Amino acid sequence: MTQWTFEPWVILPMAISAALFVVGFARLKARSEHGLGALKRRAVLFALGWLVLAGAVVSPLHEAGEHAFTFHMIEHELLMLAAAPLLVASEPLAIMLWAVPASGRRALGSATKSPAVAVPWRTLTDPLIATVVQSAALWLWHAPALFDLALEHEGWHIAQHLSFLVSALFFWSAMFHRRNSAGVAAACLFVTSLVGGALGAFMAVSVSPWYAPYAALGMTPIGLSPAEDQQMAGLIMWIPGGMFHALFALGFVGSMLRDKREASHAHP
């Protein structure tokens, strides 16, 4: 279980994204006289998100997930709850854009404003739609038939991880976007906390394993039976997963209350 996973479908996009960010960052830094602090902060967030992503899908954790559901769950939680929000908070696309030549940058910039890109982007980063999509991805992929498929076929496994990561990226983009109100973000985060927490709770109280490939493995390397392994995975999704969304929601409620207090001080 100490084997690193160097699959081209993982390494290649990660290397390209890192290269684009580094080149874009260097060019922007050379041109920036002001706002260097904010740029550096975004670089730190991107580096952290990228490292967490690598820790989830490249480090031995990925291989361990093949032998124990608990590790697989930790991998999913890292993708959706750590890597995705950190990457979104770093707002990497604007920086990566600077990695391409000026003509390409202009072309890409105008392409993002075209309805073909702007409309799907606005739709998928709408807080309610993003919440529904992420919750649907979470529940559908944990249905035994689909999860078994992902465990047995590498292609479906890639599709599962991509769905989790991409839906989480849209979800956190919706939560952090300035156009969306803090109240709506808080409500979506509370709902996500309940929806994810409920799935985890079902796993945690289930007395029989849901997924045939894990059940067939017998005792896990950490000494848990398949049912106990699933209960542990369910607890990870339920408690830390649910708490994470709930704490973020409380943060948004706090900022909403602060805004109200400031507004009432400004207009007594």
Partner 1 sequence: MAERSARRELFDRWAGLILGPLVWWIHQRMVADWQAVDCHDMGVAGRSIWSLLLIAVLAWACWASLNIWRRWGPREAETDNWRFIALVSAGVAALCGLAVFFGALAAVIVPDCLQQ
- Which residues here bind partner 1, judged by CB under 8 A? 183, 187, 190-191, 194-195, 198, 201-202, 205-207, 260, 264, 267-268
Residue partners of 214: CB distance under 8 A and separation at least 6: 68, 69, 151, 226, 229, 230
**What is the nearest approach in angstroms of partner 1 to the Cβ of residue 242?**
11
Tally the residues of the chain: 268
**What is the nearest approach in angstroms of partner 1 to the Cβ of residue 182?**
12
First to last CA, the chain: 63
From the list 128, 130, 135, 134, the residue with the least C-alpha distance to 184 is 128
**What is the nearest approach in angstroms of partner 1 to the Cβ of residue 198?**
4
Q: Pick between residue 90 and residue 135 the one whose CB is nearest to partner 1.
A: 135
**What is the nearest approach in angstroms of partner 1 to the Cβ of residue 251?**
16
Q: Pick between residue 258 and residue 260 the one whose CB is nearest to partner 1.
A: 260
Q: Pick between residue 190 and residue 244 the one whose CB is nearest to partner 1.
A: 190
Residue 123 contacts residue 132 (beta carbons within 8 Å): no
**What is the nearest approach in angstroms of partner 1 to the Cβ of residue 260?**
7
Q: Pick between residue 158 and residue 198 the one whose CB is nearest to partner 1.
A: 198
Q: Pick between residue 191 and residue 239 the one whose CB is nearest to partner 1.
A: 191
From the list 14, 143, 148, 1, the residue with the least C-alpha distance to 62 is 1
**What is the nearest approach in angstroms of partner 1 to the Cβ of residue 47?**
35
CA 168 from chain centre, in angstroms, equals: 4
Q: Pick between residue 206 and residue 225 the one whose CB is nearest to partner 1.
A: 206
- Helices 154-176 and 127-141 cross at an angle (nearest 10°) of 150
The SS3 assignment for 125 reads coil
Q: Which residue has the tokens 């993002």?
A: 112
